[in-house]
Amino acid sequence: MRDFLYRLTKKNKFLLLTLVIIPVIIIFNQSKERTSDQEVNVYTSRHYDADDLLYEEFTKETGIKVNIISGKGSALIERLKAEGSNSPGDVFFTVDAGNLANFQKQGFLQPIQSEAIKKIVPKELRGENNEWVAVAKRARVIFYNPELVNENEIENINYEDLGDENWKGRIVIRSSSNMYNQSLVSSLISNLGIPQTEKWASNLVSNFARKPQGNDRSQIMAVANQEASIAIANTYYIGIMLSGKGGQDQLNAAKKVKIAFPNQDNRGAHINISGGGVLKYAPNRENAEKFLEFLLSEKAQNHIVNNTFEYPVLETVKPHPLIENFGVFKMDKTSVSDFGKYNPEAVKLMDRVNWQ
C-alpha cells in the first residue's frame, strides 16, 4: 500500500505542484493588482514639509496612497540604476530643470501621455518628448540694497550688464557647483552662444565682492548687511524670509532689499522650475500621471505657492501676496529643456573663468 501511494505521488508530482502553485500565483497577482490601484511611489529630492500635506490631500481625493522615497538626486540615480527594470518608482519629483534633464539623459523617464497635463503646461516648461513637466516656477533675479544702488544703475538692467566695470567688487552669488547657477548660464548660452556667455561670466567673476559661499539666503543677507550691492538669487527665498519662517534676522534683512527683474526690455527674467516625470519602469503609470495632474490642479497650485512661495504654472492661480507685491514681470520663455542640453558646456565654461 505504501509503495502504491509513493508511485501515485511520484506520477502526479507535477499535478500536485500545479494545484499548490497556481492558487498562490493567482493570489499574488490579485494582490499586485490591488496594490497598483491603490498606490504611487514618488522618488523626490524636494525637501519641503508642505509637500507632505499635498500627498495626504491626493490620497484623500483619489484613495491612492503616496509612498515617498526621498534623497539627494545623485543618491536616487544610484538607487534607480541598482533597481533597474524592477524599480517600484513611479514618479520623480525635484527642483531645477537641469536635474530633471539629467534624469532624462540617463534614461530614467518616459513620455507623459496625459493630454490634461500637456494642455496646462506650456511647451517651454516641458522636457524633450514630454518626459517631464513644470509644476511650479521660480525666477532667478537681482536683489539690491537701495542704500548702495541708485535707481539709474538698476533701471532696465540685464543679466549681461552685471559684467560691467561699475559693478566691480559689488556682486555676490553662489558657487558654480550650484545647479541654479548652472541653469542660468545654460540659459545664457542658449540665448547668446558660448563665446559671449564666457566673456560675460569672466567679467562677472571679476566683479565678485567675495568668494562664492553659502546659499541664496546668504547672498540676500550679505546685500542687506551692505557686504555687497547686489545678489543673484531665487525669488521664493525672499518669500521664506519675509514670512518669518527663516527667523527674525532673515526677516529684518529681507525688509532692507529690493528686487530688480532683469531683461524686461527683451527676453525677460530667467525662469527655472520644480517639476516631475513618470519613471521608465513605473508599475503604476496611470497613478503617476494622476499624481502629476493633481499637482497641477487649482487646489494643489494654491497650496504650493502659499507654502513654498514659488510661482504657479496654472494661470488661474495667483502667487503668494508676499511675492505678488514685487510686481508683474516678463518671464523668459527660453525652453527649460535647454538647461539640461547646455549644462555640460555651462559647467566647463564656469570652470574656465574660475567661477569657484
Average pLDDT, the chain: 90
Instruction: Give the C-alpha separation, 314 to 125, whole Å.
Output: 12
pLDDT, tens digit only, all 356 positions of the chain = 445 444 444 444 433 333 333 333 333 333 334 344 699 999 999 887 889 999 999 999 999 999 999 998 889 989 999 999 999 999 999 999 999 999 999 999 999 999 999 999 999 999 999 999 999 999 999 999 999 999 999 999 999 999 999 999 999 999 999 999 999 999 999 999 999 999 999 999 999 999 999 999 999 999 999 999 999 999 999 999 999 999 999 999 999 999 999 999 999 999 999 999 999 999 999 999 999 999 999 999 999 999 999 999 999 999 999 999 999 999 999 999 999 999 999 999 999 999 99
Kindly list the distances between the CA atom of residue 324 and the CA atoms of 51, 122, 173, 184, 346, in Å, as whole numbers in the listed order: 21, 21, 24, 22, 31
Phi and psi of 330, rounded to 5°? -80, 130
List domains and CATH numbers for the chain. 40-137+272-320 (3.40.190.10), 138-270+331-352 (3.40.190.10)
pLDDT one-digit tens code per residue, 335-354:
999 999 999 999 999 999 99
Per the document, the length of the chain is: 356
User: Do 145 and 254 touch, CB atoms closer than 8 A?
Assistant: no
Instruction: Give the C-alpha separation, 347 to 134, whole Å.
Output: 23
Q: 294: closest CA among 61, 106, 123, 103?
A: 61
Q: What is the DSSP letter of 176?
A: T
Instruction: Give the C-alpha separation, 153 to 155, whole Å.
Output: 6
- What pTM did the predictor assign? 0.86
Q: What is residue 15's predicted lDDT score, i.e. its pLDDT?
A: 36
Q: What is residue 17's predicted lDDT score, i.e. its pLDDT?
A: 33
* Grid cell digits, residue 199: 566673456
User: Do 209 and 221 touch, CB atoms closer than 8 A?
Assistant: no
Q: Residue 180: CB partners within 8 Å, gap ≥ 6?
A: 96, 140, 174, 216, 234, 272
Q: What is residue 128's predicted lDDT score, i.e. its pLDDT?
A: 95
**Cα angle for residues 295, 337, 97 (degrees, 5° grid):** 50
Q: 58: closest CA among 329, 299, 322, 249?
A: 299
Q: Map residue 340 onto helix, strand or coil.
A: helix
Percent of the chain surpassing pLDDT 90: 86
